[in-house]
Amino acid sequence: MTKNISLNEILNYEQRYRTTFINSLGGFKSTALIGSRGGDGYTNLAIFNSFFHVGANPPYFGFVVRPDSVDRHTLSNIMDCKEFTVNHVAESFYTKAHQTSARYEKEISEFDAVGLTEEFVNGNYVPYVKESRVKIYATFSQRIDVSVNNTIIIIAKIKEVVLPQDCIGEDGYVDLNKAGSVTTAGLDSYFVSKPLERLPYAKPQQFQKVA
């Protein structure tokens, strides 16, 4: 039995119910911790699940920040220092990663609050999460203010990638299942991945319909 839900019905949902419904509707999403540091030296760590690929040459990616109607420490730090880290979440510490979504005061580092370790590499100003196996050091490129709902899109350029050598295939494919990265659905459900198959580059003449 299926259910057809109109826009009006969705808009009439209780706020938290509607937020959970819409956030889980989009399917599985990449999940990572963004490490940042303000000019005052305070570090911050926050979980995000809105990352998307922008380009490979140069290597750009983006993510979405909720409206800055309240203090967004990650956003203010990035706008201040123009650098941040992206750290994949693993099964061994996903509960700690989730806890970073709590609203801590700026003077309290989520690294300390949840028990994750700051890792400074190559003289970088912003720390990685030591426990993470796949890490990206990024530099701010562009801010896009979305007028329809006051969210903010941040576009960033990859400066450095740190990951296990055995997770990189001969063709450049990064095996995130082997790296142990987890994914999410909605705002609070975490999953480990199960690969099905890697398919060849799609060409019109090679596809065969299955009866």
Query: Does pLDDT of 27 surpass 60?
Result: yes
Query: Does pLDDT of 135 surpass 90?
Result: yes
pLDDT averaged over the chain? 92
Q: Omega into 164 within 30° of 0, i.e. cis?
A: no
Query: Does pLDDT of 207 surpass 80?
Result: no
Assigned CATH for 29-190: 2.30.110.10
Domain boundaries, the chain: 29-190
Burial 151-163 (b: 16+ CB within 10 A, else e): ebbbbbeeeeebb
Using the structure block, give the residue that is written with the tokens 């040459």: 57
What is this structure's pTM? 0.90
pLDDT at 208: 67
Q: Convert the pLDDT of each residue in 52-75 to its tens digit.
A: 999 999 999 999 998 866 578 999
